[in-house]
Amino acid sequence: MMKSLLAGSVILFAAGASAAAAFAQDDAKAGKVLYDKARCAACHASRFGGDGSLIYTRPEHKVKSAVALLKQVRFCAAQVGAQWFPDEEEHVAAYLNQQYYKFK
């Protein structure tokens, strides 16, 4: 039990380090192109109204860290069948971070 808990902690730490580092080296412009092509805003608008950006700015938003942002982008990409490669998911996360979240 303790061994699996420790292993899980190491995985989360490594994911956090790579997500934060990815934002610094990823291409937010490429992320916007991917985001637009997948029609992410249209999906968000259908659920939250307006232009869809409320999902990022609402007070109760779920994403509270760079790790959570990358995880959410991966979840959404899978839900809509975007078929992005991991680096493309990171580009989208970089775009969203630049536009809305501002995680360091």
Q: What are phi and psi of 92, to 5 degrees?
A: -65, -45
From the centroid of its chain, how far is CA 61? 13
Please determine, for residue 92, whether its predicted confidence score (pLDDT) is greater than 80: yes
Mean pLDDT along residues 51-71: 90
HSE (side-chain half, CA atoms, 13 Å) at 80: 19
Question: Taking Cα atoms as reference points, which of 77, 53, 84, 67 lies closest to residue 20?
Answer: 67
Q: pLDDT tens digit string along 12-57? A: 444 444 454 548 788 999 999 999 999 999 999 998 889 998 899 8
Question: What Cα–Cα distance (Å) separates residue 66 from each residue in 17, 23, 41, 100?
Answer: 9, 8, 20, 12
* Mean pLDDT score of the chain: 82
Residues 6 or more apart whose CB falls under 8 angstroms from that of 69 comprise: 19, 63, 93, 96, 97, 101, 103
Average pLDDT over residues 52-69: 90
pLDDT value, residue 59: 85
Residue 50: helix, strand or coil by DSSP? coil
